[in-house]
Amino acid sequence: MTKMNRITQLFVKATEPILNVYATAGYPNFGDTLTVLHALQEGGVDIIEIGMPYSDPVADGETIQQSNQVSLDQGMTVAHLFEQLKAMRQTITVPVLLMGYINPVLQFGVEAFCKKCAEVGIDGVILPDLPMAEYESEYQAIFEQYGLYNIFLITPQTTDARIAQVDANSKGFIYMVSSASTTGAKTGISDIQETYFKRINGMNLKNPRLIGFGISDRASFVKASESAAGAIIGSAFVKLLGQTQNLHADIVGFVQSIKGKK
C-alpha cells in the first residue's frame, strides 16, 4: 500500500482557503531554492510549486520568463535542482509540485525524472505543454508508478466536455486559469471571470480547483477563494524575489499577508 499523496491529504483536511505559491528554482540566486521553500513554509503556505527554468516558456509572461533566464544563466539544470532538493523532506512537510516544460523532462528521461521526483519527495508535476492525450498514451503509467500527480489546466475557453475529461483524468486538484492569458499578464478578477468560476462550480467536479493567473495580493486571493478551494500566486511572488533585500523575512511576510495572518 502506498501512502496517501500529500496533496490529497491537504485537500481532505483543509479548513481554510489553500495558498499555492510558485517560485522559480535557483532564483534570485542559484543557492536560494531551499531558503525560499523554508520561508514559504514558515509563512504558512499550503503548497509550493517549484519552477524548473526553461529557455522558451511560452505560457509565461515577462516576470517569470526573466526569472527563468536568470536562473539558467546561473547554471540551473533539472539535475542540479534534484541535487538541491535531495534533503528537502527532512524539513519541508507541505506538498511540493514541480512546474516546467516538457522538453527538459524528455531530455532527463521521463522515467528517470519520475524516479527522482519520488526520491526527493515531489508530489506532483505541472507541465503546461504536455497535452492530456499525450499524457494518457505515453506518460500516465510511469507517473502513477511513482505516485506522482499530473495537474491539468483548464481555461475560460475549455469546453464542458473537455473539463469533464480533465476531471476524470485528474488527481489532487485542477489548475483553473482565471483568464485567457500568459502568467502575470493581468491582475484582479472581473465579473466575466466570476461567471466562468460559477459555471465550473456548477459542474459538480470530483476534483477541487485552485485558481491561478492574476492573483497577486490578499484581496484577489480572498476573491478567488470564494469560487474555489484556493488560489495560486506566481508572478507577484517572483517579482518580490527579484527585488527583496531580505529574502527570508520578506517571503514570510508576503505569505502571512496573503493568508491574512498579519
- Contacting residue, 56, 111, 119, 136, with other proteins by CB under 8 A: 56
Indicate which residue of 32, 46, 60, 123 is catalytic. Answer: 60
Residue 161 found at the interface with other proteins (CB under 8 A): no
Strand partners, 124: 97, 149
- Contacting residue, 41, 65, 220, 235, with other proteins by CB under 8 A: 65
Long-range CB pairs of 134-140, under 8 A, 24+ apart, other chains included: 135/169, 136/169, 138/110, 139/110, 140/169
Residue 181 found at the interface with other proteins (CB under 8 A): yes
Could you confirm whether 167 is annotated as catalytic?
Answer: no
Contact 123, 6 (CB under 8 A): yes
Indicate which residue of 32, 46, 49, 123 is catalytic. Answer: 49
| Minimum distance, C-beta of residue 101 to other proteins, in the bound complex (Å) | 8
> Per-residue b/e over 184-193, b at no fewer than 16 CB within 10 Å?
bebeebeeeb
- Contacting residue, 107, 145, 190, 195, with other proteins by CB under 8 A: 107
| Minimum distance, C-beta of residue 102 to other proteins, in the bound complex (Å) | 5
Residue 168 found at the interface with other proteins (CB under 8 A): no
| Minimum distance, C-beta of residue 79 to other proteins, in the bound complex (Å) | 7
Residue 192 found at the interface with other proteins (CB under 8 A): no
- Contacting residue, 14, 164, 168, 180, with other proteins by CB under 8 A: 180
- Contacting residue, 77, 140, 165, 257, with other proteins by CB under 8 A: 77
Binding site for other proteins (CB under 8 A): 54-56, 58-59, 61, 65, 69, 72, 77-79, 101-108, 128-131, 134, 152-155, 157-159, 162, 177, 180-182, 185
